[in-house]
Structure 1
Amino acid sequence: MVNFFDEFKIYGPGFLEASWTVFGITILTIAVSWVCGLVAALAQRSDWKAVRMAAGFYIWFIRGTPTLIQVFLIYFGLPQIGIRLDPFTAGVIALGINSGAYVAEIVRGGLTAIQRGQTESALALGFSPAETMRTIILPQVFRIILPSITNEAISTLKNTSLLSTITVVELTLYAQTLIASTFRPFEFYIAVAVIYLLLTTILTFVASWLERRYANLG
């Protein structure tokens, strides 16, 4: 272990680059998941049965199948129908679609917590349905679901390790390449665990700050 810490300055830049890759994937995945989740949650409230059924199927399928299989479907499956994506893009899309199903259920729960009378009052005052949702309902929903959204974001960050299976050079794959040449799995997997712990802690602190900020606004 002493020699490992002495040598870490050699491996440190690689770990830093891999950490930035994890950070970039996480941010992009969260953005994709929020879009997918919001669309699916609102689709479940649609007056059109076909739209509700499509949203329900999406949530049912994604939540009922392993994340790794979904990654493989996007990266290895789409080329069979002529759609080829690089590993980074495929990983972001796969994890975003996966997380979006869980975000949809979180948003749905938040929407259920808002009293229907608020929507009716806004419409009576001349707000359009879109304006009501954007300016009155969604800000309150965001405040309600923030803790749950944070937990899902942390899960998303940790799920980036699955992308090592499609050759995305994130922390896990970088550690595996070092282990293959040094035969020192314990030290490098500990290093990866510590870095992931640091990243999730930072994300938790940011979420706590947002919770306090929105609590003060309320």
Structure 2
Amino acid sequence: MDAVIRQFFNIEVMMQAAPLLLQGLWMTAQLCAAVVGLGLVGGLLVALASLSPRPLLRYPALVYVDVFRALPPLVLLVFVYSGLPFAGVELSPFAAVVLAFLLNNSSYYGEVYRAGLQSVPAGQREAARATGLTETQALFSVVLPQAVRNVLPDLLSNTIEVVKLTSLASVVSLAELLYAANMARSITYNASPLVAAALIYLVLLWPLARLVSRYQRRLAI
């Protein structure tokens, strides 16, 4: 038992690795902010395009969603980072991760938004237009707030998955939390930094997961 504690729960090793882990956590926070922010905006654009009466917008959006939901995120990341340079497009690890995950996550966010928009009765939009609002004003002032409220648990759940997904960035040597923990492990010859990284993810994501569950129960009442 002592050997297990020394190898996996060594507080001294965790404290030694703390500066490196904090740097990785900061990079993870930046990556999450970029990926989630762009994903939410991109997903909304995808949803609006997929609901458009114009075939030139609707069909490409539907193909986009199907393609990027089917592609594994890791395959997409490796292609963007290692494949695009053969076409003359070289991206930094951070930019490659953001682009790859944006393509993947915007397709999922788009489907969530689309379900939310379709859940709002058509009469809401018509009533908004009757008060003198333009189509755009009716969408963003009346329809979209109701749509987001209806699918908020799904948006939050998807955001949790996005945060966990950022750990894949270590594949392209981006110094996020998992990469930093693995570097600390290789320096200390001890697995405790990896356990510390897992605990950090747990502390960050468990409250959000509980919030999602609580909100889902409230909607079910």
User: What's the TM-score once normalised by structure 1's chain length?
Assistant: 0.89
Matched-pair contact (CA < 8 Å) for 2:14–2:196:
no
**2:185 matched to 1:188?**
no
Residue by residue over 1:179-203, the C-alpha shift from the partner in whole angstroms, topping out at 9 and shown as x without a partner, is: 2233323x23221211111111354
Matched-pair contact (CA < 8 Å) for 2:93–2:172:
yes
Matched-pair contact (CA < 8 Å) for 1:70–1:94:
yes
Measure, in 2, the Cα distance between the counterparts of 1:51 and 1:136.
Answer: 23
Measure, in 2, the Cα distance between the counterparts of 1:66 and 1:154.
Answer: 17
Mean Cα displacement is larger for which, 28-37 or 1-10? 1-10
**Greater RCO, 1 or 2 (C-alpha within 8 Å, sep 6+):** 2
Residue of structure 2 equivalent to 1:123: 129
Ranges of 4+ aligned residues in structure 1 off by more than 3 Å: 202-209
Residue of structure 1 equivalent to 2:41: 35
Give how far 1:206 is off. Answer: 7.3
Q: 1:201 aligns with which of 178, 199, 206?
A: 206
Residue of structure 2 equivalent to 1:66: 72
Alignment length (residue pairs): 211
Give how far 1:94 is off. Answer: 1.3
SS of residue matched to 2:175: coil
Instruction: Tell me which amino acid in the other structure corresponds to 1:34.
Output: L
**2:185 matched to 1:165?**
no
SS of residue matched to 2:204: helix
Mean Cα displacement is larger for which, 131-140 or 172-181? 172-181
**2:87 matched to 1:81?**
yes
Matched-pair contact (CA < 8 Å) for 1:161–1:171:
yes
Matched-pair contact (CA < 8 Å) for 2:14–2:193:
no
Measure, in 2, the Cα distance between the counterparts of 1:11 and 1:184.
Answer: 10
SS of residue matched to 1:9: helix
Residue by residue over 1:36-90, the C-alpha shift from the partner in whole angstroms, topping out at 9 and shown as x without a partner, is: 1101100011121121111011110111110101111221222222222110121
Q: Which runs of 5+ in 2 are unaligned?
A: none
Mean Cα displacement is larger for which, 80-89 or 142-151? 80-89
Superposition CA RMSD, Å: 2.2
Mean Cα displacement is larger for which, 174-183 or 45-54? 174-183
Measure, in 1, the Cα distance between the counterparts of 2:160 and 2:114.
Answer: 20
Q: 1:178 aligns with which of 174, 184, 209?
A: 184
Instruction: Tell me which amino acid in the other structure corresponds to 2:99.
Output: I
Give how far 1:204 is off. Answer: 4.3
Identity %: 30
Measure, in 2, the Cα distance between the counterparts of 1:39 and 1:173.
Answer: 32
Matched-pair contact (CA < 8 Å) for 1:32–1:93:
no
User: What's the TM-score once normalised by structure 2's chain length?
Assistant: 0.88
